[in-house]
Amino acid sequence: MPFLLFSQHTASAKKNEEISQIHIRKTTDKIVINGSLDELSWRQSQLVSGFNQYFPKDNIDAIGDTEIMMCYDDNFLYVAAKCYSSGKNFRVESLKRDFSFSTNDNVNFIFDTYLDRTNAFQFSLNAMGAQKEALISNGGKNSNAIDISWDNKWYGDSKIYDGYWVCELAIPFSSIRYKEGASKWGFNCYRNDVQNNEISNLTGTSRENNLMNLNFTADIVWEQPLKRPSQRVSLIPYTLIGASRDYEIPSETKFQPSFDVGGDVKLGITSSLNLDLTINPDFSQVEVDGQVNNLDRFEISLPEKRQFFLENADLFGSFGTNSARPFFSRRIGVSIDTLTENNIQNTIYGGLRLSGKLNKRLRIGLLSLQAASQRENDLPSFNYTVLAAQQQVFDRSNIAFILVNKQAFNSNRFGDSVDAFDRVAGIEYTLNTKNNYWLGKASVMKAMTPDDKQMKYNSFFQLEYNRRRFRAEIVSLLVGDGFDAEVGFVPRRDILMFSPEFDIRFFPKTKKIAQITFQADSRVFYKLGKDDNPIIEDFGLEEWQLKFDLKTSFSNNHNFDVSFEFKDFTLLRNFDPTRIQATDLFFQSGTKHKNTVFTASYESDVRKAFSYQISPNAGRFYGGTKVGIEGGIKYRFQPFGSIAMDCEYTKIDIGGNFKKANFWLVGPRTEFTFSKKLFWTTFLQYNSRLNNLNINTRLQWRFAPASDFFLVWTDNYNTEVFSNFQKRNRALVAKLTYWLNI
């Protein structure tokens, strides 16, 4: 087999050209995953090395090199890496799955299985063998393009030696999607070497691009074309027992027992097309959301963490923009407790998801779920169906289509309070050029609803130019008043928005500073005038925003940011920004306001056992003042866990008859990892605005790959009388899931 050892003294761009192909040999050896590299197959595999530094500089060779070897058989892809460093003080924050990249010695392997430079799978190990897997979408162009909530079945382990550590992985072909008969995949690898304070990667990605950017990959060349995986059916049943009590319901005098069963079925239609079925799904083990003090006029979105919605989630959920999504999966099966702002599960009877590739350039997705009626909220049963297709054009661009349908069952029984249906259809073009200089998106969508509102459509345009020292972007967004996407996320309607912005990057030659970035962003909102609100004339100015930001990244991993933000707007509805005033005290619609905020942020070196961050802010707020401070501290007793505390304090003094507001949001958190299979997490959240204290503690035992036992305790207290907390509700859940391949 050919042997490849890349020179460590050539330029980054030249290396990127040299590392073009990695030949991978088929093996008949039985490979034991233990971090020892004992098998003959590793010595016969092509050796790939010559990593490039990404941070603190990105134009030199890595101080600590990494050697990669790969081979495969009919069922598994085997990967090994030998990670060199300058000493033996390797850092591992904890043994918990889905570890942080920044605080661990770890290595990450990216597989673009369709060579489409759009979607990929990532598998990661830290120096003590803790695992992480992730899905990469949208070409990996920014940090939002990776989702570490994805979970699947694979094997990995690591072992520490003097001056280096070794990891081995065995990834079942049945756990990933690819084209049967494929002869090439895209591949990249990046690593965090904590001792050397160095981030490095194989293909020489420079810092103006994300480490996961799929435009910078080498090719894996298979010795033989890949066959269809032998195991294509997986059963994932669960059983659950629990007890709960709501102390604010006088008639509920004792804990109410519960029992449930259900599960998922994964069927491999082809090696690249998968059918997922779910029956009576339960998500009680999903970690609670971190609470947010939202003082804005509009709704905010939180990330999806439920496994069923994650694979190929970008195919359904990336249409449009963050300010106007036709589909937002958290609209299904989740509601909010208005007292505690905690999530409440709504029963989903079952559903299916068909997703994957029909050929190298065409992806399809079909999602359909049936939700139970909610008698307490006077809502019928709804069916949610989403159909999406994405056709790749040119090198990395694509044209996509989406249709979202929410259909009520027996809606006539609920009168005019419930619409019989809500539908959205849209088409979108996404631009990703081969050289990664130009990125963009253009979309048009239309809502179909029973009402007679005007302008039931939205359009979005974005064009970005990105080079090493400069980035510029122009965005426009139109959201009609009738664009009522009930299964989407649309916080503002009846607007036309324009937003030019730019970044200027500096890379000082001094060793102390890695990068300085100056950012300027402006947004102008015009009111379309189709919502029968006469406060602003048609196409009149509703709001304009301006923000300046100066970010300094130091070579020792410290960060310092300063920013200024200005907003000038007219209220279209009566609004109490504190949410605590008497019902008849608010700012009236039609009043004009100018808010400003100055913010400074400092973050210490997260590699250290003790780290902290602090961010004071102050400014004008609805004619008064708003002063606050956010921060957090964290101490790690490696590798067994950490203790952390996040805290946010906001003081608002508007004046007049408005009460002063003092808001506290405090969130202590402890994580203990007794082994690579047993984890215990406790998360407390005190929210003074809601007068609520939430306690969530979760014990997880991963007794087999992708199979878990969870024990979850949730507790809420009314803290209105701070010296005498009153119990609100409590729940204890024990859940067992098992992944069985057939």
Q: Are 445 and 407 in contact (CB under 8 A)?
A: no
- Tokens for 321? 């923009």
Residue 338's pLDDT is 55
Q: What is the mean pLDDT of residues 717-723?
A: 88
Q: Are strands 641-653 and 198-201 parallel, antiparallel or unpaired?
A: unpaired
Mean model confidence pLDDT for the chain: 92
Task: Let me know: does 255 contact 266? Beta carbons within 8 Å.
Answer: no
Most distant CA pair in the chain: distance in Å? 81
Segment 464-490 mean pLDDT: 96
Which pLDDT belongs to residue 529?
Answer: 87
Give SS3 for 43: helix
Amino acid at 660: K
Instruction: Flag whether pLDDT at 14 surpasses 50.
Output: no
pLDDT at 291: 86
pLDDT single digits (tens) 617-650: 999 999 999 999 999 999 999 899 999 999 999 9
pLDDT tens for 179-220 read 999 999 999 999 999 999 999 999 999 999 999 999 999 999
Which residue, among 601, 627, 598, has the nearest Cα to 614 in the 3D structure?
601
pLDDT of residue 415: 66
pLDDT band at 88 (very low <50, low <70, confident <90, very high): confident
**Coil, strand or helix at 416:** helix
pLDDT, one tens digit per residue, over 377-407 is 778 899 999 999 999 999 889 999 999 999 9
Distant-in-sequence, close-in-space partners of 175: CB < 8 Å, separation ≥ 6 = 152, 153, 154
Tell how strand 641-653 and strand 273-279 pair up. Answer: unpaired
DSSP string, 108-158: EEEEETTS-SS-EEEEEEETT--EEEEEE-GGG-SGGGEETT-----EEEE
Which of 334-343, 426-435, 450-459, 476-485 shows the lowest mean pLDDT across its residues? 334-343
Please report the pLDDT score of residue 481 as a whole number.
94
More confident residue, 489 or 334: 489
Pick 284 or 221 by higher pLDDT.
221
pLDDT at residue 342, rounded to an integer: 60
**Cα 551 from Cα 27, distance rounded (Å):** 49
Query: Would the pLDDT of 16 be above 80?
Result: no
CA distance 238 to 279: 10
Domain boundaries, the chain: 12-222, 298-493
More confident position, 584 or 628 = 628
If you search the block for the tokens 């069922």, which residue do you land on?
75
CA angle 138, 233, 364 (to 5 degrees): 30
Beta pairing, strands 382-393 & 362-371: antiparallel
Q: pTM for the whole thing? A: 0.89
pLDDT of residue 6: 33
Contacting residues for 457 by C-beta, under 8 A, at least 6 apart: 444, 445, 446, 447, 478, 480, 482, 483
Q: Are strands 66-72 and 21-26 parallel, antiparallel or unpaired?
A: parallel
Per-residue pLDDT of 369-385, as tens digits, reads 999 988 777 788 999 99
> What is the predicted pLDDT for the residue at 479?
97
Which of helix, strand or coil describes residue 71?
A: strand
Tokens of 740: 């069985």
Tokens read off for 492: 């503002």
Residue 136 · residue 214 · CB < 8 Å? yes
What's the Cα-to-Cα distance from 556 to each of 101, 143, 195, 196, 518, rounded to whole Å? 16, 21, 11, 10, 20
Mean pLDDT of 586-604: 97
pLDDT at 13: 33
Give the CATH number of domain 12-222; options: 2.60.40.1190, 3.30.1130.10, 1.20.1730.10, 2.60.40.10.
2.60.40.1190
DSSP 50: -
The Cα–Cα gap between 419 and 408 comes to 7
Strand partners, 430: 398, 441
- What average pLDDT does range 468-494 have in this prediction? 96
Please give the Cα distance from 547 to 558 (Å, whole number): 23
Query: What is the pLDDT confidence band of residue 4, given thresholds at 50, 70 and 90?
Result: very low
Instruction: Report the pLDDT value the prediction gives residue 335, as an integer from 0 to 100.
Output: 67
Three-state DSSP at 248 gives coil
**DSSP 8-state assignment for residue 32:** P
Q: Is 432 within 8 Å of 141 (Cβ atoms)?
A: yes
pLDDT of residue 2: 35
Does residue 639 have a cis bond before it (omega within 30 degrees)? Answer: yes
Q: Quick check: 491 pLDDT over 70?
A: yes
Residue 710 contacts residue 735 (beta carbons within 8 Å) = yes
Look at residue 15 in the predicted model and tell me its pLDDT: 42
User: pLDDT confidence of 419, banded at 50, 70, 90?
Assistant: confident
- The first and second tokens of residue 261, run together, are 């069963």
